[in-house]
Amino acid sequence: MNSNNKKKSKLYNSRIIKTQINDKAFDKLDKKLSISQFLSSRKFEIQSFESSQLKSKNASSTRIFQSLPRSLRRRAASHDIKRIPKRMRNKALREMNPATTTKSIGKKIPHGRQLYKLFKMKRVLKIASKLKQMKYEVPFDSTINIRKQYKALNDYLKIIQFEKPPLLNNVNGSKDQTGTNRLSLKPTGNIKYSKRQNKFVWLPTHIWHAKRFKMMKNYNYQIPFKPTQKCFKLMNRQNKFKAVCFDTSYYPTMILEFKEQNQNQNQNQIENILKQLLNSKNIPKTLISGKKTYNDWIYFDSKPIVKGLIFVCNTRILIRMFPSVYPTLFEKLKNLIQDVGIIYDCRYSLGSIELSGPLSLKYLSKVFYFHELSPNIRNLWSNFIQLKDNNLIPIGTTFSFNLKDPRIYRKPSNFPFNSNKDLYDLIIDLQNKSTVESQVIDNLFTIEGRTKSYENQLSLKQLGKYFDTPQKKASDVSHSEIPIILTKINTAKWCFILPWHWVLPFWHQLNKIPGLKPGGLKQIKQFQFESNLPSFPQDYPWLKDGWIHNDLVGEATYEKDSKLPKSQVTLQDSENKNKQVFNAYKCDWNTLRNMIFLKNQNLNDTEILCKIEEFKLEINDINDPVIEKFNEFNQFHEQFYNNQYQIEPIDRIIYTKLPVFQILINLVNDGAFEDNARIYSEPNNSHFECIGFVTTGGLNLNVEVSANQNIIWQISN
């Protein structure tokens, strides 16, 4: 008890401020305190208190990179000064000074081979920089070591003195890399990072994205997958009320050019190609005349293979598509037109940027500075950028522009011309008047035109000198003419195609606009899902690309699950009674096909399960889907739909494809579907009642009925 009383008294005393009245500054008679005398006697104590407060404030304050808004935070910013915005780097360096930090941040001094390698690399970069300034193409082989690279560059310098190889037309190293009747070679990019691009090509904006995005390696590209910061709800709001931009330069482009013949022959050849690609005898006149683009399925041999964009101008056809099927279609079209035309692989010579949202055109107008814009197109453009309803503009609407370098203007600015034309007159003008100039298209579709756009392309140093000279005007350095085409590819999405090495300047300027946010591949799929539209390839498992995607997702999920500690239950083990039947890591169409066909063979449950395990041992072609889309004109599909089919012998099941439907499901109650979820016809969840899979599921924020209502794409038999 005594110990408890002592603690209580100690606590009580600590909460009482004791006054000292035996001080010389206190007059007991007048009961007054001499302030000046009191402060002078307590001067040392006050100064000590102030210094301790300042020290504690500095010790507990946040670092400069921690006080940034979320949109400016970067990975590894605490120790990498280059990831902090420039205006804050000096303060960050002071904070990282050893005098103000508890732990030394000194770099390890390299020794031996590492030091030798650094010296050689420094020399290689110096020679490469010198060649770049001299406007020579830098030869580089990423398969050899640094010593051989250094020797090769030295030999090239000696050759230059005598042979004088052709010069580039700019100091940035920008050149057109197009393959004629063959697939183009991969670009090496900056010599400093060339070895990193042996297998996966960097997009023009790769370094910008690498600081702000999670990247994924797919289709021989490094693709921006999603921003590092949480943005699910933010992106939904941006897409509904503002805009989101995407670098889609990984969507490859090819150009078919027909030999110069008479106009009728060229027209017939173009129509024959389009009939095969569109799988239709009637080709829209607006597509043949070059007024609009086609944005839908591309066919070959009457089979849909991929969704893409087609644009026709004079004797040329531009085709842009998803990267997975590009090499296959390129070879097929090459063989198809080898006698009448030339095919160009423009994967690494044409890039593209997409914008999604109601304010897409308004934001684009802030970075588009035109060369000699005709009054007709100027009036249409000024009216379009004021529209907030994208549905008023038809899909396929196309513009062609000659633009200036957007970097010569410090900040994005509004289009300086306003037009108050009536909406109905605007739509009539759009249908009757052409918004495409053939000269601009020729510059964009030809190697010479794209190369000309790079002529005297300003480097960052040249831009810095221009901004440091107030007397100079934008017209003094606006010599670049950049050909682009802008087209509407979806109800709320625009795409503009431009030369490869002009993608980065436009991307930088677009991201200076406050209302515009960048997105990745995951956001593209999110917007498709929220618009109740399927995404290619995961929502098309009966196609080769969708089938391969499903297998890759299964392998990746299994690998991730296998790394879990033993204390955690794996996804497959959580299946309970169904774990021996379906693969939990993907949409197991193989097992579903076998089960449905075996149920029609008058077998009991045990025999069906044994036969399923037996069929799993059969070798299947991973590139050949076991399902196909339901076709009402197919006799077997009709019999299957009416449950009047028979497969004999029973082993023939593994060679028979299962007909499937693609449907849309809304969840009425609370909850959410996940990808690869199974759908049952009965509530008992017996594996014999499984009828399909969810290929894409999640929360749809656009549903107004209920915040928890979900819309998914499901395939069902």
For the residues 31-44, what does the mean pLDDT come to?
A: 77
DSSP states along 79-142: T-GGGS-GGGHHHHHHHTSTTT-SS--PPPPP-HHHHHHHHHHHHHHHHHHHHHHTT------T
Q: Write down the pLDDT at residue 78.
A: 63
The CA distance from 419 to 406, in Å, is 23
* Cross-strand pairs, 517: 244
With tokens 């053939």, the residue in question is: 438
What domains are defined for the chain? Answer: 1-58 (no CATH), 62-101 (no CATH), 112-199 (no CATH), 253-345 (3.30.70), 351-530 (no CATH), 544-716 (no CATH)
- Does 266 have pLDDT greater than 60? yes
For the residues 128-140, what does the mean pLDDT come to?
A: 73
User: How confident is the model over 304-347, as pLDDT tens digits?
Assistant: 999 999 999 988 999 999 999 999 999 999 999 988 899 999 99
- Does 717 have pLDDT greater than 70? no
With tokens 């522009």, the residue in question is: 401
Note the maximum CA span of the chain.
121
Confidence of residue 197 (pLDDT cuts 50, 70, 90): confident
Q: Which of 445, 444, 435, 448 is nearest to 482 (CA)?
A: 444
The CA distance from 709 to 218, in Å, is 32
For the record, the structure tokens of 99 come out as 């005098």
Higher pLDDT, 475 or 715: 475
Confidence of residue 690 (pLDDT cuts 50, 70, 90): confident
- Does 20 have pLDDT greater than 60? no
With tokens 């420039």, the residue in question is: 86
- Does 17 have pLDDT greater than 50? no
Q: Write down the pLDDT at residue 299.
A: 93
The CA distance from 302 to 282, in Å, is 14
Phi (first) and psi of residue 445, to 5 degrees: -90, -10
175: Cβ contacts below 8 Å, ≥ 6 apart: 137, 168, 451, 454, 501
312: Cβ contacts below 8 Å, ≥ 6 apart: 270, 274, 287, 288, 289, 290, 318
> In whole numbers, what is the pLDDT of the chain averaged over residues?
83
The CA distance from 406 to 484, in Å, is 13
- Does 498 have pLDDT greater than 50? yes
User: How confident is the model over 581-636, as pLDDT tens digits?
Assistant: 888 889 989 989 988 898 888 888 888 888 888 887 776 667 789 999 998 888 99
Q: Write down the pLDDT at residue 578.
A: 55
Confidence of residue 75 (pLDDT cuts 50, 70, 90): low
For the residues 262-273, what does the mean pLDDT come to?
A: 83
Alpha carbon of residue 126 to chain centroid: 33
Phi (first) and psi of residue 523, to 5 degrees: -70, -35
659: Cβ contacts below 8 Å, ≥ 6 apart: 627, 628, 629, 630, 631, 634, 636, 637, 640, 641, 717
For the residues 546-572, what does the mean pLDDT come to?
A: 88
Structural element, H or E, at residue 362: helix 360-365
- Does 181 have pLDDT greater than 50? yes
pTM: 0.82
